[in-house]
């Protein structure tokens, strides 16, 4: 680490990969020195080579260089070589961004050189504004993992955390551990042979948990309040009596499971109409009761012998009428097969029919399906239209899809395979006045400004929106696991809980070092907010996609670093620009915008500012370069953490400074949004709609600011978009604002 105080900047210009042949690197060096005011300026034939890297290291060590600007390849390339942990570094993208995206030959020489010179100017301007992130480790070091819910998922999460050496606390609202799994006679097999129902293993798991030295259990308890941040959560655990105990924890796993769909909502299928029509949970109860007495399962209506059982799959599920659950609960096919086996194993003479539309037994479940057939369970592809129950028997009316007829079967017992309804608490995205009549009870009771519970994705499920990142929640350090996240069976729930335990542990470790969590994992920068100047407009607190910002008693924004994901949405939102990161701020970008050499309006050299999402649009442009997809030399590209971090001041500065247009390339938004910070690109779109008025006031055409959705795969499309936009700007003509800056 260099001595505090004195800043010494250095610029390094690479001549490798054809840069030396294509460009006048001397001139670039001159620019860095004269305009960039770099104290040290060096050129090198092969900068990423050991000798080049050593040269830089020596300067840092011996010349007390504190800030490094590298004009070479893209910031995405050669990261192992250009890896100087102890100084701020800016990288001017001369290879992918200039020589690879510009045509060779004299004709293009001048504008290509302009481009390279500007990127050097921008790099120098940026690095001077950068500080080395110090990181903000949370003071209090709570490393305990809180698990809400003591069912299969919760028990597993707690045990796995404890086995990794961490302390765990379980808060269970029931009087006993085990959850739904404890209500089961047996479970479907989860390893070979996939032939018979197996013991649930709940008792064993409960024993392990209760006897574990590192696990503490609170029964009949709920969370009255949850406040703080990863590494520093404080939860108030309330018992029935109302007494509360405060617990300090580092991370939270919400494993609150599900409630079975109310069969009374399925009267047409006999649900709630007749004792001989039960749901899967109801059947487990009957089987357990019978087993306790050592007798065969009895018919609820009269205790008579059960000779035939019909299982109706997807009861109140996969429903597109809007009346019932739209999704499939995943486990029900295997569960019905398992339950049919209860009967077949006890007495093969009992008829068991599973009525299904699509039998869903993925993976090794296929073996279990076969085993069911071997045991004589009949599988009929059909859909029940109604169940008429009278006396002691039920008549199931159904459409037989194979035999193509409407028909019926008699049964002593009808089992409705209803779905899982997640226990996810309050849907914070619904405004207070639109909340359902029967207000759901909050699970976490978060004191977060943005609401009491985890945001829900869909249908009450607190699942991640990201396929590659199933544990993404919008509340750092709080992870959902098990059926509350997504419908699932026990086998998947235990895997899920184990994964969630890892994420919780990781959150604790991150907080301890002041490191960001996914997707900017490891980032030590965090928002620095001098409150003087803050107008308490609250935009940052409202717009933070992760609910990281609360309000203090004086109604100033209260930042919780370990909840922050470093996207900069708050920075983009702040009208008075008091929010900044050490290495990414209104200034680091603003100064780049101001740094370029702006040609006059007669030069026929328009300048277009491109603000590109660093995760998708920027890599797309890099790869365009790698494939030599040419785009206009009039653009200057600045990568941003997220379009959500784009502050309108950059736009107005650019336009005032004579830029002819501003192009924003961000991720897809809407239902299938791609933005890794959830709302960033959407917010940007919203904010820019406001910019139009500003443009009009400045007497500028609204086309001068445009935003586009660009995917990382738009390797050919992105350059095309740029060229089309540049053409449009040339049509409109040069900005009248030039020369006034």
Partner 1 sequence: MTAPIPTSQTILVVGGGISGLTVALEAAECGKQVILVEKLPTLGGRTALLYRYFPKLCHPVCGLEINLRRLKGNRNVRVLTMAEVVSITGTRGDYTATLRISPRHVTAQCTACGDCAKAVSAEIPNPYNYGLNQMKAAYLPHAMAYPQRYVVDPSIVGTPDGEKARAACKVGAIDLDMKEEIIELKVGAVAWATGWQPYDAAKIQPYGYDRFANVVTSVEFERMCDPHGPTGGKILRPFDGEPATNIAFIQCAGSRDENHLRHCSRICCMASLKQTQYVREAYGEGGKSTIYYIDIRAIDRFEDFYRKVLQDPTVRFVKSKVARIAQDDKTGGLILHGVDTEGYHRYEAPHDLVVLAVGMEPSVKGADIPAEVIADSSGFLEGSSGGGIFGAGCASGALDVNRSVQQATATALRAIQVVNKAAAAEVAR
Partner 2 sequence: MSDPNVSAVEQYRNNFLREVEENVDEGQWVKMCMQCGVCAGSCPLGEHWEHSPQKLFMMIRAGKREAVLSTNSMWMCTSCYNCVVRCPRQLPITQIMHGLAAYAHRLGLAPKMQPTRDFSIQFWENCTRTGRVNELRLTIGLYFRDGLVAGFKKGWSMRNVAFGLLKAKRLNPFELFKGHECKDRKGIQAMLKKANEIDARKKRPTT
Of partner 2, partner 1, none, which one sits near residue 616, judging by CB under 5 to 8 A according to partner kind? partner 1
Residues 367 to 396: which contact partner 1 by CB under 8 A?
Answer: 367, 381
Q: How far is the CB of 339 from partner 2 (least distance, A)?
A: 18
Residue 344 lies near partner 1 (rule: CB under 8 A):
no
**Phi and psi, residue 586, nearest 5°:** -50, -30
The residues with which 214 forms a beta bridge, in sequence order, are none
Of residues 196 and 400, the one with the C-beta less far from partner 2:
400
**Phi and psi, residue 288, nearest 5°:** -65, -45
Cis peptide before 193 (omega within 30 of 0): yes
Residue 283 lies near partner 1 (rule: CB under 8 A):
no
Q: How far is the CB of 103 from partner 1 (least distance, A)?
A: 16
Residues 240 to 279: which contact partner 1 by CB under 8 A?
Answer: none
- Tell me which of 167, 284, 616, 709 binds partner 1, using CB under 8 A: 616
Residue 351 lies near partner 2 (rule: CB under 8 A):
yes
Q: Distances from the Cα of 720 to the Cαs of 406, 608, 711, 728, in angstroms?
A: 58, 14, 13, 12
- Tell me which of 1, 3, 402, 468 binds partner 2, using CB under 8 A: 402
- Tell me which of 326, 376, 440, 599 binds partner 1, using CB under 8 A: 326
Q: How far is the CB of 670 from partner 2 (least distance, A)?
A: 39
Pull the structure tokens for residue 309: 């059982």
Q: How far is the CB of 375 from partner 2 (least distance, A)?
A: 9
Residue 518 lies near partner 2 (rule: CB under 8 A):
no
Residues 91 to 120: which contact partner 2 by CB under 8 A?
Answer: none
Q: Distances from the Cα of 574 to the Cαs of 131, 192, 475, 614, in angstroms?
A: 21, 58, 21, 21
Going residue by residue from 61 to 90, which x/- string records binding to partner 2, judged by CB under 8 A?
Answer: ------------------------------
Of residues 24 and 373, the one with the C-beta less far from partner 2:
373
Going residue by residue from 186 to 205, which x/- string records binding to partner 1, judged by CB under 8 A?
Answer: -----xxx------------
Residue 580 lies near partner 1 (rule: CB under 8 A):
no
| Nearest CA among 369, 233, 251, 387 for reference residue 310 | 387
Of residues 193 and 733, the one with the C-beta less far from partner 1:
193
- Between CA 661 and CA 675 the distance in angstroms is 24
Residue 709 lies near partner 1 (rule: CB under 8 A):
no
Cis peptide before 603 (omega within 30 of 0): no
Of residues 230 and 382, the one with the C-beta less far from partner 2:
382
Of residues 372 and 477, the one with the C-beta less far from partner 2:
372
Alpha helices in 278-350 (DSSP H): 280-293, 332-346
- Reported in sequence order, the residue ranges of 504-556 that DSSP labels E, i.e. its strands, are 549-551
Of partner 2, partner 1, none, which one sits near residue 275, judging by CB under 5 to 8 A according to partner kind? none
Of partner 1, partner 2, none, which one sits near residue 326, judging by CB under 5 to 8 A according to partner kind? partner 1
Q: How far is the CB of 689 from partner 1 (least distance, A)?
A: 25
What is residue 501's DSSP assignment?
Answer: H
Q: How far is the CB of 73 from partner 1 (least distance, A)?
A: 7
Of residues 547 and 625, the one with the C-beta less far from partner 1:
625
- In order, the DSSP letters of 118-178 are HHHHHHHHHHHH---------SS----EEEE--SHHHHHHHHHHHHTT--EEEE-SSSSS-
Total residues in contact with partner 1, by rule CB under 8 A: 85
Residue 18 lies near partner 1 (rule: CB under 8 A):
yes
Beta strands at 420-422 and 258-260: parallel, antiparallel or unpaired: antiparallel
| Nearest CA among 269, 221, 267, 278 for reference residue 247 | 221
Piece of the chain touching partner 2 by CB under 8 A; list 50-58, 223-231, 397-405, 726-734: 397-405
Of partner 2, partner 1, none, which one sits near residue 365, judging by CB under 5 to 8 A according to partner kind? partner 1
Residues 711 to 740: which contact partner 1 by CB under 8 A?
Answer: 711-713, 715-716
559: Cβ–Cβ under 8 A, 6 or more apart, which residues?
526, 527, 529, 548, 549, 570
Of partner 2, partner 1, none, which one sits near residue 709, judging by CB under 5 to 8 A according to partner kind? none
H helix or E strand, kind and range, residue 529: none
Of partner 2, partner 1, none, which one sits near residue 210, judging by CB under 5 to 8 A according to partner kind? none
Q: Distances from the Cα of 536 to the Cαs of 228, 435, 541, 686, in angstroms?
A: 21, 28, 10, 21
Cβ atoms of 567 and 476 within 8 Å: the answer is no
Tokens 């603003």 map to which residue?
A: 590
Residue 36 lies near partner 1 (rule: CB under 8 A):
no
- Between CA 421 and CA 125 the distance in angstroms is 55
Going residue by residue from 468 to 487, which x/- string records binding to partner 1, judged by CB under 8 A?
Answer: xxxx--------------xx
Residue 522 lies near partner 1 (rule: CB under 8 A):
yes
Cβ atoms of 312 and 417 within 8 Å: the answer is yes
Piece of the chain touching partner 1 by CB under 8 A; list 25-33, 42-50, 174-182, 564-572: 42-50
Cβ atoms of 54 and 90 within 8 Å: the answer is no
Pull the structure tokens for residue 144: 């305990």
Residue 689 lies near partner 2 (rule: CB under 8 A):
no
Residues 357 to 386: which contact partner 2 by CB under 8 A?
Answer: 359, 369-370, 373-374, 376, 378-381
Of residues 123 and 519, the one with the C-beta less far from partner 1:
519
Q: How far is the CB of 722 from partner 1 (least distance, A)?
A: 18
For the chain, the residue count is: 741
- Between CA 477 and CA 468 the distance in angstroms is 18
SS (H, E, C) 638-697: EEECCHHHCCHHHHHHHHHCCCCEEEEEECCCCCCCCCCCCCHHHHHHHHHHHHHHHHHH
- Between CA 92 and CA 556 the distance in angstroms is 38
Neighbour tally for 57: CB within 10 Å? 12
Cβ atoms of 193 and 367 within 8 Å: the answer is yes
Residue 166 lies near partner 2 (rule: CB under 8 A):
no
Residues 406 to 435: which contact partner 2 by CB under 8 A?
Answer: 407
Of residues 374 and 627, the one with the C-beta less far from partner 2:
374
Of residues 251 and 387, the one with the C-beta less far from partner 1:
251
**Phi and psi, residue 137, nearest 5°:** -60, 140
Residue 16 lies near partner 1 (rule: CB under 8 A):
yes
Q: How far is the CB of 622 from partner 1 (least distance, A)?
A: 9
Tokens 């606390």 map to which residue?
A: 169
- Between CA 692 and CA 682 the distance in angstroms is 16
Q: How far is the CB of 338 from partner 1 (least distance, A)?
A: 17
Of residues 355 and 646, the one with the C-beta less far from partner 2:
355
Of partner 2, partner 1, none, which one sits near residue 79, judging by CB under 5 to 8 A according to partner kind? partner 1
Provide Rg for the chain, Cα atoms.
Answer: 32
- Tell me which of 132, 501, 593, 637 binds partner 1, using CB under 8 A: 501
* Positions in the binding site for partner 2 (CB under 8 A): 351, 359, 369-370, 373-374, 376, 378-381, 400, 402-403, 407
């Amino acid at each position: 680490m260099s001595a505090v105080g004195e800043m010494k900047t250095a610029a390094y210009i690479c001549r490798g990969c054809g840069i030396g042949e294509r460009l006048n690197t001397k001139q670039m060096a001159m620019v860095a020195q004269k305009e960039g005011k770099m104290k040290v300026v060096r050129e090198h034939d092969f900068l990423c080579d050991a000798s080049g890297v050593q040269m830089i290291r020596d300067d840092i060590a011996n010349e007390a260089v504190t800030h490094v600007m590298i004009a070479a390849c893209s910031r995405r390339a050669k990261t192992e070589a250009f890896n100087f942990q102890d100084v701020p570094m800016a990288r001017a993208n001369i290879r992918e961004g200039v020589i690879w995206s510009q045509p060779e030959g004299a004709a293009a020489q001048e504008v290509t050189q302009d481009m390279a010179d500007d990127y050097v100017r921008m790099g120098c301007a940026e690095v001077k504004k950068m500080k080395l992130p110090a990181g903000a480790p949370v003071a209090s070091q709570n490393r305990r993992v809180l698990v809400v819910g003591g069912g299969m998922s919760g028990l597993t999460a707690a045990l796995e955390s404890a086995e990794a050496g961490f302390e765990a606390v379980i808060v269970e609202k029931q009087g006993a551990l085990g959850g739904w799994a404890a209500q089961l006679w047996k479970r479907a097999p989860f390893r070979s042979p996939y032939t018979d129902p197996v013991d649930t293993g709940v008792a064993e798991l409960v024993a392990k948990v209760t006897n574990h030295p590192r696990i503490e259990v609170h029964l009949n308890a709920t969370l009255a309040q949850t406040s703080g941040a990863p590494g520093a959560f404080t939860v108030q655990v309330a018992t029935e009596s109302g007494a509360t105990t405060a617990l300090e924890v580092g991370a939270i796993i919400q494993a609150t499971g599900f409630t079975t769909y109310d069969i009374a909502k399925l009267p047409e299928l006999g649900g709630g109409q007749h004792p001989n029509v039960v749901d899967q949970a109801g059947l487990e109860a009957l089987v357990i009761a019978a087993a306790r007495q050592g007798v065969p399962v009895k018919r609820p209506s009269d205790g008579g012998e059960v000779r035939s059982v019909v299982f109706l799959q997807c009861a109140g599920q996969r429903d597109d009428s809007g009346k019932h659950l739209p999704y499939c609960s995943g486990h029900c096919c295997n569960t019905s097969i398992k339950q049919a086996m209860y009967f077949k194993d006890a007495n093969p003479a009992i008829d068991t029919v599973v009525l299904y539309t699509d039998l869903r037994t993925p993976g090794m479940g296929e073996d279990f399906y076969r085993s069911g057939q071997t045991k004589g369970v009949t599988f009929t592809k059909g859909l029940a239209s109604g169940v008429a129950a009278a006396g002691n028997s039920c008549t199931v009316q159904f459409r037989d899809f194979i035999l193509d007829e409407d028909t019926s079967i008699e049964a002593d017992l009808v089992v409705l395979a209803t779905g899982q309804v997640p226990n996810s608490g309050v849907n914070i995205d619904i405004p207070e006045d639109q909340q359902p009549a029967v207000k759901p009870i909050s699970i976490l009771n978060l004191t977060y400004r943005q609401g009491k519970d985890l945001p829900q994705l869909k249908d009450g499920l607190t699942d991640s929106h990201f396929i590659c990142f199933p544990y993404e929640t919008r509340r750092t350090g709080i992870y959902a696991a098990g059926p509350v996240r997504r419908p699932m069976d026990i086998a998947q729930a235990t895997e899920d809980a184990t994964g969630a335990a890892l994420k919780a542990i990781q959150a604790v470790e991150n907080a301890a070092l002041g490191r960001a969590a996914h997707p900017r994992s490891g980032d030590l920068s965090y928002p620095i907010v001098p409150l003087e100047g803050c107008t308490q407009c609250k935009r940052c607190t409202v717009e933070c996609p992760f609910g990281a910002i609360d309000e203090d008693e004086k109604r100033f924004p209260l930042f919780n670093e370990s909840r922050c994901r470093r996207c900069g949405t708050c920075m983009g939102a702040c009208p008075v620009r008091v929010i900044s990161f050490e290495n990414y701020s209104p200034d680091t970008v603003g100064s780049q915008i101001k740094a370029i050499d702006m040609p006059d309006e007669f030069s026929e050299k328009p300048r277009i500012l491109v603000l590109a999402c660093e995760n998708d649009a920027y890599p797309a442009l890099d790869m365009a370069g790698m494939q030599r997809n040419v785009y206009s030399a009039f653009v200057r590209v600045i990568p941003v953490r997220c379009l959500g971090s784009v502050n309108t001041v950059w736009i107005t500065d650019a336009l005032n400074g004579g830029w002819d247009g501003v192009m924003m390339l961000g991720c897809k938004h809407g239902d299938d949004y791609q933005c890794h910070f959830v709302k960033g690109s959407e917010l940007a779109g919203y904010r820019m709609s406001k910019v139009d008025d500003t443009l009009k006031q400045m007497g500028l055409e609204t086309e001068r600011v445009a935003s586009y959705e660009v995917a990382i795969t738009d390797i050919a499309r992105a350059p095309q978009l740029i060229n089309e936009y540049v053409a449009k700007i040339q049509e409109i003509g040069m900005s009248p604002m030039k020369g006034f800056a």
